[in-house]
């Protein structure tokens, strides 16, 4: 739209602005607009100015361009409301139900299946171990000890005294005499058992002394060690006569 007043022309864009629109006003020459309560100057640079208003009616621009003073350069502004609008808000529509997302439920289902498969696998392995354990006969502590001592006498290891002492400690630990006790503490707990004392002390000397264990007949001491379970095994429970 082209407006003219006192030889001042300007072009408006948009040509039919509405309330709140940014209206670009192009002058042929540099312009300085006056401040006015009827409009807001958004920006102005050189021959272009951008203004807007929030009143639904035309307003007049005023200012100076190249020394020429102009007034009442009318900018047409129309209301966005229809004629005779009752100014009533539009009726609200009920919210639409959003479609239920399927991806989270699918992920939960997959995770549940994986967890169930893992638990089933663990259960199968557990039952397999139980069957395997039932198939292996339980060797009594005394028999394990005597078998180990006999094996030592047959194979003569590099440190026979230390190996015999280790077997003795393992057996006594199974009978309730803690393996964490020192030799002195264990012997004090046993009341100074002579055979156990000789086995443990020779084993300590072979493991920790730079001179090793004193000379001795290993086979004879190992043969005597076979009698240790006779003293530490619990007495059998007599069956009551029917």
Distance CA 61, CA 42 (A): 13
Helix (H, G, I), strand (E, B) or coil at 64: strand
pLDDT at residue 137 in the model? 64
Please tell me the pTM assigned to this model.
Answer: 0.43
pLDDT tens column, 83-110: 666 656 667 778 888 887 888 888 898 8
- Sole residue written with tokens 């139900």: 97
Apex 95 CA angle, 94 and 97, nearest 5: 125
pLDDT value at position 126?
A: 78
**Other Cβ atoms closer than 10 A to 48:** 15
Q: What is the pLDDT of residue 181?
A: 84
Distance CA 85, CA 113 (A): 61
Q: At what angle do helices 160-174 and 194-208 cross, to 10 degrees?
A: 130
CA angle 143, 172, 196 (to 5 degrees): 100
Tokens of residue 69, six digits: 């003073």
Low-confidence ranges of the chain (pLDDT < 50): 1-6, 240-242
């Amino acid at each position: 739209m082209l407006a003219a007043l006192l030889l001042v022309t300007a072009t408006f864009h948009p040509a039919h602005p509405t309330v709140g629109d940014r209206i670009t006003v192009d002058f042929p020459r540099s312009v300085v607009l006056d401040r006015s309560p009827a409009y807001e100057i958004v920006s102005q640079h050189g021959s272009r100015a951008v203004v807007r208003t929030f009143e639904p009616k035309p307003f007049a621009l005023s200012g100076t361009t190249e020394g020429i003073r102009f007034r009442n350069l009318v900018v047409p502004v129309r209301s966005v409301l229809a004629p005779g609008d009752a100014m009533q808000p539009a009726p609200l529509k009920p919210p639409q139900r959003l479609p239920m997302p399927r991806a989270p439920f699918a992920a939960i289902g997959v995770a549940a299946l994986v967890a169930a498969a893992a638990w089933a696998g663990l259960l199968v392995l557990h039952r397999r171990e139980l069957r395997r354990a039932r198939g292996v006969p339980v060797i009594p502590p005394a028999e394990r000890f005597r078998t180990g001592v006999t094996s030592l006498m047959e194979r003569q290891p590099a440190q026979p005294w230390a190996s015999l002492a280790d077997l003795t400690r393992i057996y006594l630990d199974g009978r309730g005499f803690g393996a964490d006790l020192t030799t002195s503490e264990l012997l004090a707990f046993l009341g100074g058992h002579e055979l156990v004392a000789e086995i443990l002390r020779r084993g300590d000397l072979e493991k920790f002394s730079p001179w090793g264990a004193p000379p001795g007949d290993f086979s004879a001491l190992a043969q005597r060690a076979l009698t240790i379970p006779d003293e530490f095994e619990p007495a059998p429970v007599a069956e009551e006569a029917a």
